[in-house]
Structure 1
Amino acid sequence: MPNSLQDYFWKGEKQNSSYYKTYCKACVKNRMQIAGAAMSDIVTQGQSFKAYQMVRCCTLAKMIHANLILACTTVGSVLGRKDSWIAHLIGGQVACVHASAEAKADASAQRSAASKKRDEPDTPGAAAPPQKKQQKDPNQPSLTGFRRNDMPYGPAEKDVIQRQVLRAIVSGRLSLRAFEEHEMKVLIGMFRTTAPAILPTGKVVGGRLLNAAAADVEAITIKALKGKISGLLTDGWKCKKKNAVNAICANSYLIELIEVTALNKDGPSLCEQFAGMIDRVEVKYGCIIIYFITDADGAGAKKGRQLLGIKRPWLILPSCWAHQFQLILGDYFKVHDMTAVIAEDATALIAWINNHGKVRKIFDEAQKVISQDRLGSIVILAYLVANLTRWTTHFIAFFRLFLLRAALQLAVLQNRSTIIAAEVGAATSKESQRLKEDAERFCALIEDATFWNGLEAVLGDLEPICLGTNINHKDSTRLDQVLLTIAGILRFADHPEPEVKKAMLVRLEKRWNDCDQPAFLAALILNPFEKLSCFGLNANLNQFKCLNLLISLYRRMSDRPDNSDTPEQRKVREAEVSKAFLQYLSGMGDFADFDATLWEETNHNTNPIPVWDAFTGSRHLKELAEFAITILNIIANQACCERTFSRTKIEQSDHCNRLSLAKIDKRTKVNKFI
């Protein structure tokens, strides 16, 4: 051999009593390429860390000492044995990609020599002794043996694997026939040769397995809702088959998907449909529905919900405030003409940059100059696009554009003619003139300080609306939090534009009037961290007005047909609630020792529900505490339905558009519990 294999490795510290750690020079050299040729020479020539110490006095060596140690640590060590070196250089499955052809050739030669030596007999010139064949007794019993990969599966294992196949298909949004594909079976067979034989077909997955899993989910849902106070929410969606589908959810559980294409959408018809939904859920799941939520689409769901309130006055019937805040965003653009113009200009500018690759690259180069920090890091931000179905993206897209103001203006200042030429390209005649005018218009817009000042003002108005949308789109958003987000956008009362101020307050007042107001007000008052602190002087509230509000709501919700209390019992309960509520507002009795600040510090949150849970143990406070928990558990949005539709849209993709609504319903339910 012209070279020993150890010549290709750097000798390090001892790994154990017999062998040293070694580091592949090719790997280390590749890692250290950024240090320059001198460093590469040191790595190539040095035989050990001791040899490296001899050149360490060199200024270059001092500078890169830490980097060399880091490189060795990063590439990892190889045990200082010949077979380990061979395995690293030409290993069975993963060979060193940095090793030279000479090193690999030496390793191959060493391996061949070792293999030949094993095959040679111990005595030189002597032939290997012939293997003696053992005769088998035909009468001797024998056991059937299997290699590990050929072991068959038992019935129990088969059932578990098939159920896992269903979970993989549902969670991975795969076709029901995914595991029938030949290449999939080949892949599974590589893990265990008998596995393809027990893989279920698409018919089995979409039939027996899916039905069994859906039944398990149904049992879990019934157990979770049985005997509980709950709410119901519903929303509509059009699937790829152009059929209208309604989702019905309770406490974030999907109850069912129903097709409503042929059903009437007028108020009285929807009222009957809503009442039927409530009755079916209460009977099937054994729960008590106290609130019902839809969106507020005028003659349809809103009218149906209002009629339902007349027929069943004990129900709390708020509209979805996630939708309401999105509509408030639309109101803002409608009543503020200047805002609409700025929003259109900003949207057009973003689209122009994204639609012209050469122009975008020029702006990206300007971002490199602007964003480079003291450490040399460079961040190039994307130009985000607003999406109508993503409710907060208008603010996000405009805010990103505002962040890039300096980079855009720098690019136009330095490369205006280059930007125009990049957009025009090879276009001629009228098209060339149109593209040139486009580029000049947007360059002028980027230079216009009035546009950027207006965009900053728009962002200030949009932020509280988008924050409210985000807050009100969670399953945990309580009515008191909704009311506080509504108060947050009352900043329009101080808007500098009188027309905008007047129009926005009128629209906000209209949406607030459509609410089930007593429930929202009671929730805020029953929040022990807020009480009456959020109400201003103009609210004209005192303890007795609050008591009248609370008792009216308590009577209304107690007036259910299934309430078996006698009139005398109801009076006693109302008296308990009244007395406890006045003590609560005054901070007397059991409430005298409650310190909101101390509670927040020890429990690290301001969730009022655990506070009221603590009072349920007191006999004379239990009725008020349970009522407060009921009110504070009401959620005024359709987020569960929206997430369901996002999932069903994926389930009914272009590749799975033949799935029936029943199978989509089951797959969606099963996926939620995976």
Structure 2
Amino acid sequence: MGLSSESVITGTPAHTLQPWAPPIQHQFGRDLCKVFVALNIPWHGVGNPEFWRFCRTWIPEARVPDRRALSGRFLDENVAEAESRVLEQVRGRLAMGQSDGWKNIAKTNVTTSVITVNHKTHILRTHNMTGRPKTGDEMLSLIRSDIQDAQKRLKVVIIGWTTDDGPDGKKARRILAAEEPQLIVTVCWAHQINLVVGDLFSLPEIAEVIAAAVEIVKWFNAHGAALDLHREAQKIHDPLHDPLALLLPVITRWTAHFQSVSRLLRLSIPTRSCSVTRRDKLLTSAGRTAEAKGKAQEVLRIVDDPDFWVRLTRVKTYLEPLAIAANVTQASHTRLDHVLITLGKLFHAFSDPKIDPAVSAKVHGSMERRWSRADQDLYILAVFFNPYIRSSCFATEYLPSATLIDIAHRAFKRFFGCEPDAGFRSALVDYIRRRAEFTDQGMGLEGARAEAECNGDDIDVVSIWELMDKSNDATQVSRGRNGVVRLAVRILSAIVNAGGCERTFSAFGVIHTKLRNHLAPDKVHKTAVVGQDLHEQHIEEGLIPAHRPKRKFGSDYPSATPSLDLSLPSREAPAIDVPPADAEDIDVECDFLQLARQLRSEAEAVEADDASPEGADPSAPVEDDNLAAQPAASDTPSETPRQSQRSRASRTSIPLAQLFAYPNASSSDSQNSAQSALNFFWAGGIKNLEDELAAYEILCPASHESQ
């Protein structure tokens, strides 16, 4: 079926060759579709004359399909093949659902749902919201249908659902939690950290000093001669290293501005030196107009102000722990224990007496409000069931072992709809005291850590618990000792942000561009599904690296307790998603004060709305009893919504200020254990912040010029 030697030399078609048989031709069409998806080639490219010339010359036996066939039946067949592979991976597994909204280049609003199973995110469905109301009832209807679809088509066990904290998502979560108490229904915690930052930005001095710093960066980057003088000042100050870029924040995320002002602070000495020693040249480089000269004098006045640099240092100190927390909580596989440990670390960081009391009060108040609305039982149990932490970080005055056992007992009844037996309690006691099968050796903690380090991978605490499961039937309720294992697996499998949706939207943005803005949402969805499947196949076949640079939370960095290690919240996600070149959030003239106002507005809107806690609300308007039933774990019926409401009424409510045994100057051994626990994710979060800086270097136009 190849070309003759004469055809190869002359480049003329070999008309004597027979066309491919229908099965081969059909497979060619499917494979060509995959090539177009993998390379992100527009579907109409198949009709390009040069492409046809290439095919006639080199594969004359093939009949090239048109764009309708390529993006129609062949794409549909590849989607079906991809979904069959997903079914093989997820059948019978616990799955956490997430849904979020997105607006494409054509201003079409869509709502997409994904499920996360065993550290992998799978795209579920995309709904075109054109003409549909953006209400809680509509969101609830979509979630219900998505749960039904996941259970029927992919045979998974949905254990929970996550949405953002918008009014529609809030109402949908409230009703869903009331009607389905066995689901872990939670808000996106990456968004919650942003709201804490929004509350902090309500202090005017914080936003003002950042805005001033960004103005300095903008001015230098906008004037080539001034930027050259700044680089010369850097070389004089540090002749052994290449000059660093002044990072211009080109995406509307507060962490981009944090990185920008952090870099400026790092370059404070050469920046101030340049202003003093090269002032005349800097003013000349500004331009000839009075307005340009006035702007230059204003910027240089800020640079010359020692108090500005003191205030900028102070603000950077405030924002850095929040930026680290944002990196922890925005990972695509952030668990409940990641969130609570991060909140504890943040609370302790802002308890430092050196911090302005107004700042501490603002951050503490914001965190306490958001924590008070959380389903605290589940977050506490997630930390407790992390075998590297257990109960070591909790303040026993407010959370003794007996209370932890009671919380676990309530959670078992909620999820499995029946009472555990005496063996369940004895197993919990043994787990707390590291006895019987729950010793470090019995759970294989050191082996899991060593294996992860050897493979350059993360520790999967869910897998540690799954290996301890002594039941042959994954759907059977274990009321005794094995019930502890089942409960731990369920709680630690919950994902508490919409990171999977955000990464799916990044893929959508690469597919649906300004030049391809007529693509229908369903076609974009199908293309993304096939693209994700091809990416997974390439990894399995060793054609591309298995992981991008990963988030390392505790595994590769020194901590107070080096022997202890914790699993990563993400296997494949970088610190940030680099947006496509035409992404709507790129704006070289991004106004920080406008961004700060937006964050404050979002935080205020959440406070003004009906701030219901996670879980059932007795006053929630439960309107529909037809929610798809969760696959029953046993013949014992689960609690009714009314029973669930009574159960939730006794839920744990402990302020962050009292929850942990925070260390102090004269810390006891128990407080040192708490310090180790609170630091587990933090060192890796700092590394993530450095990785994020590298990503912003790519995004910032001046970065390449300064190398």
Query: Aligned match of 1:397 in 253, 260, 281?
Result: 260
Flag the structure with larger Rg.
1
After superposition, residues 52-451 of structure 1 pair within 5 angstroms as: 147=6, 149=8, 150=14, 154-155=20-21, 157-187=24-54, 192=58, 194=60, 198-251=63-116, 252-297=121-166, 299-334=167-202, 336-373=203-240, 379-387=242-250, 389-390=252-253, 392-424=255-287, 427=288, 432-451=289-308
* Corresponding letter in the other structure for 2:321: P
After superposition, residues 524-539 of structure 1 pair within 5 angstroms as: 524-536=383-395
Q: Give the corresponding residue for 1:35.
A: none
Residues 541 and 356 (structure 1 numbering): CA distance in 2 closer, same or farther, change over 3 Å?
same
* Corresponding letter in the other structure for 1:182: P
* TM superposition shift of 1:527: 0.9
* TM superposition shift of 1:211: 1.1
TM-score calculated relative to the size of structure 1: 0.70
* TM superposition shift of 1:157: 4.9
Query: Aligned match of 2:469 in 611, 616, 637?
Result: 616
Q: Secondary structure at the match of 1:283?
A: helix
Q: Give the corresponding residue for 1:589.
A: 436
Q: Distance in 2 between matches of 1:218 and 1:591?
A: 38
After superposition, residues 475-624 of structure 1 pair within 5 angstroms as: 475-490=332-347, 491-494=349-352, 496-536=355-395, 540-559=398-417, 570-571=418-419, 573-592=420-439, 594=441, 598-599=446-447, 602-603=450-451, 604=453, 606-617=459-470, 621-624=481-484
* Corresponding letter in the other structure for 1:382: A
Q: Distance in 1 between matches of 2:86 and 2:180?
A: 26
Query: Is 1:638–2:476 an aligned residue pair?
Result: no
What is the number of residues matched between the two proteins?
Answer: 505
**Cα shift readout 1:77-108 (whole Å, capped 9, x = no counterpart):** xxxxxxxxxxxxxxxxxxxxxxxxxxxxxxxx
Q: Is contact 1:354–1:383 with CA below 8 Å preserved after alignment?
A: yes
**Cα shift readout 1:519-538 (whole Å, capped 9, x = no counterpart):** 11101001111011122355
Question: Which of structures 1 and 2 has the larger relative contact order (alpha carbons within 8 angstroms, sep 6+)?
Answer: 2
Computed over aligned residues only, the root mean square deviation of the Cα atoms, in angstroms, reads 2.5
Q: Distance in 2 between matches of 1:268 and 1:258?
A: 15
Q: Give the corresponding residue for 1:469.
A: 326
Q: Secondary structure at the match of 1:474?
A: coil
* TM superposition shift of 1:449: 2.1
Q: Is contact 2:186–2:496 with CA below 8 Å preserved after alignment?
A: yes
Q: Is contact 1:478–1:633 with CA below 8 Å preserved after alignment?
A: yes
**Cα shift readout 1:462-514 (whole Å, capped 9, x = no counterpart):** 12211121122223322111111111211222252222221221111111122
Q: Secondary structure at the match of 1:281?
A: helix
Gap regions ≥5 residues in structure 2: 9-13, 472-477, 535-707
Q: Secondary structure at the match of 2:286?
A: helix
Q: Is contact 1:576–1:624 with CA below 8 Å preserved after alignment?
A: no
**Cα shift readout 1:281-306 (whole Å, capped 9, x = no counterpart):** 22332222111100112x32112211
Residues 407 and 184 (structure 1 numbering): CA distance in 2 closer, same or farther, change over 3 Å?
farther
* TM superposition shift of 1:180: 2.0
Residues 400 and 152 (structure 1 numbering): CA distance in 2 closer, same or farther, change over 3 Å?
farther
Q: Is contact 1:231–1:292 with CA below 8 Å preserved after alignment?
A: yes
Q: Is contact 1:615–1:621 with CA below 8 Å preserved after alignment?
A: no
Q: Is contact 2:30–2:77 with CA below 8 Å preserved after alignment?
A: no
* TM superposition shift of 1:207: 1.3
Residues 558 and 433 (structure 1 numbering): CA distance in 2 closer, same or farther, change over 3 Å?
same
Q: Distance in 2 between matches of 1:422 and 1:161?
A: 60
TM-score calculated relative to the size of structure 2: 0.67
Q: Is contact 1:391–1:469 with CA below 8 Å preserved after alignment?
A: no
Q: Distance in 2 between matches of 1:631 and 1:621?
A: 16
Q: Give the corresponding residue for 1:652.
A: 512
Gap regions ≥5 residues in structure 1: 1-143, 560-569
Q: Distance in 1 between matches of 2:104 and 2:66?
A: 26
Q: Is contact 1:294–1:301 with CA below 8 Å preserved after alignment?
A: yes
Q: Is contact 1:551–1:574 with CA below 8 Å preserved after alignment?
A: no
* TM superposition shift of 1:418: 0.7
Higher helix share: 1
Q: Distance in 1 between matches of 2:228 and 2:279?
A: 13
Q: Is contact 1:423–1:436 with CA below 8 Å preserved after alignment?
A: yes
Q: Distance in 1 between matches of 2:238 and 2:440?
A: 54
Q: Is contact 1:271–1:304 with CA below 8 Å preserved after alignment?
A: yes
Q: Distance in 2 between matches of 1:403 and 1:312?
A: 51
Q: Which runs of 4+ in 1 moved over 6 A?
A: none
Q: Secondary structure at the match of 2:515?
A: coil
**Cα shift readout 1:560-593 (whole Å, capped 9, x = no counterpart):** xxxxxxxxxx44x443322211111122222246
**Cα shift readout 1:35-55 (whole Å, capped 9, x = no counterpart):** xxxxxxxxxxxxxxxxxxxxx
* TM superposition shift of 1:423: 0.4
Q: Give the corresponding residue for 1:85.
A: none
Q: Secondary structure at the match of 1:630?
A: helix
Q: Distance in 2 between matches of 1:517 and 1:637?
A: 16
